[in-house]
Amino acid sequence: MTAVGAFDILLCLTLIWLAWQVLASRDPFRAVVLFISFGMLMALGWVRLQAPDLALAEAAIGSGLTGALFLSALRKVIGGKKDERRLDRDEEAQ
């Protein structure tokens, strides 16, 4: 097997694993961070599939802006309710 093939398989497995982690994560902040990293790897996947347009869109919109929107929504939903800073929750989760 070539190195490129091995990389592709590794990429696929990592994507599936990350997707599962996003869905299974109990901590919303953690899920959002994992979602962002999923988007970045997905963009890499689109590059491997020779779809640079999709890769750009995925990296910029799917990963970057959606991640920012998720984080902002998280702060509004949870931060408003619990009235504690996000950093505190991170420490608590670990």
Q: Between 3 and 60, whose beta carbon lies closer to other proteins?
A: 60
- Among 68, 5, 55, 15, CA closest to 37: 15
Q: In what helix (H) or strand (E) does residue 25 lie, and over which residues does it extend?
A: none
Instruction: Report in angstroms the alpha-carbon separations of 87 from 32, 41, 71, 92.
Output: 14, 26, 13, 9
Q: How far is the C-alpha of 37 from the C-alpha of 19, rounded, in Å?
A: 10
The one segment of 7-15, 37-45, 61-69 that binds other proteins by CB under 8 A: 61-69
* Residue placing its CB nearer to other proteins in the complex, 2 or 83: 83
17 binds other proteins (CB under 8 A): no
Can you give the binding site for other proteins, defined by CB under 8 A?
A: 21, 24-27, 30-31, 52-53, 55-57, 60-61, 64-65, 68-69, 72, 75-76, 79-80, 85, 93
